[in-house]
Amino acid sequence: MRFINRHPDRGGRLLLVLLPFALLALLYLVGSATRLAENPNDKLLPSVAQMADAVQRLAFTADVRTGGYPFWQDTLASLQRLGLGLGIAALIALVVGIAAGSLPLVGAPLSPLVTVLSMIPPLAILPILFIVFGLGELAKVMLIVVGVTPVLIRELDQRARELPRELLIKAQTLGANSWTVILRLVLPQLLPRLLIALRLQLGAAWLFLIAAEAIAATDGLGYRIFLVRRYLAMDVILPYVAWITLLAWLLDAGLRLLTRRAFPWYGEGR
């Protein structure tokens, strides 16, 4: 059998999935042990025990000033901003994407505009957002909305244009008006695609969130990372980065599961 046609079995697949993570963990442990042996005060590669102490201090020890737990407060603040930003972006993208992709008179002027807007680096206009919306929560949420919405609109616009013309003609032949075609034919086809597009934009959304929190925030995962960087507190930064990665993976898995359960007929949802 040619090598290109060989596929791992279930046990082999699990082993291949875990192998790179195990190798990375091993390399880190060896590097950390080597650096700490040479200099016990080294902060670049903290030991597992040092990171565990930092997590214990932030997640399970109440702050003496506020009485709260910084780790969980930061997590809640970031997830609220992320969820609100993605929710607003998804709603706008669904409405505008369907209109641009289904109604030629709307798509003709709107699609080029959205294409241009999607080319603007969102982080470049972050100062403008802070000037317009202030330094509060709204600016952080709006950065996610501005950064993600144009890409989602372009995706849904394109998918709406790719719907088989025969289906649209048949629906109209059976007496469906424009609203019926959009609600009964176009919308069900685009909803699973919206969830998949949101999965693809999770990384960008986290990037915009961390950047906004790093510049102007009093809580949040990005705020904490950039707060402790001045002390070279890698024992805090690395667990926070790992936690952000885990949260992103869980959100991706949740959207994938939702797509599979809500739209089992959609090929990419299976």
Tokens standing for residue 120: 């603007």
pLDDT value for 181: 87
Residue 269 reports pLDDT greater than 50:
no
Residues 6+ apart with CB under 8 A from 206: 82, 244, 248
Mind listing the pLDDT tens digit for each residue in 118-127? 898 988 888 8
In a shared domain, residues 32 and 74: no
* Residue 203 φ then ψ, to 5°: -60, -45
Tell me, yes or no, whether 49 lies in a domain. no
Is there a single domain that holds both residue 121 and residue 25? no
Give the tens place of pLDDT for each residue, 44-76: 899 999 999 999 999 998 888 888 899 999 999
CA distance 253 to 158: 25
Token reading at 55: 């997590």
First to last CA, the chain: 29
Total tally of structural domains belonging to the chain:
2
Residues 132-170 have pLDDT tens digits of 888 888 999 999 999 999 999 999 999 999 888 888 888
What's the angle, vertex CA 22, arms to CA 18 and CA 28, rounded to 5? 150
Based on the domain organization, do 153 and 244 belong to the same domain?
yes
Exposure b/e, 125-157, CB count within 10 A at least 16 = b = bbeebbeeeeeeeebbbbbbbbbbbbbbbbbbb
**246 and 200 share a domain?**
yes
| Exposure b/e, 172-187, CB count within 10 A at least 16 = b | eeeebeeeebbeebbe
pLDDT at 268 over 60: no
Same structural domain, 132 and 180: yes
More confident residue, 7 or 39: 39
pLDDT of amino acid 206: 95
Question: Are both 150 and 212 inside the same structural domain?
Answer: yes
Q: Find tokens 């442990």 and name the residue.
A: 29
Query: Is pLDDT at 1 greater than 80 in this prediction?
Result: no
Average model confidence (pLDDT) across the chain = 90
Q: What is the pTM of this model?
A: 0.88
Helix/strand/coil for 42? coil
Tens digit of pLDDT for each residue in 200-223?
A: 999 999 999 999 998 888 889 999
Q: Are residues 100 and 28 in the same domain?
A: no
- Domain extent, residue 29, equals 9-37
**Mean predicted confidence (pLDDT) in 236-248:** 95
Same domain, 129 and 23: no
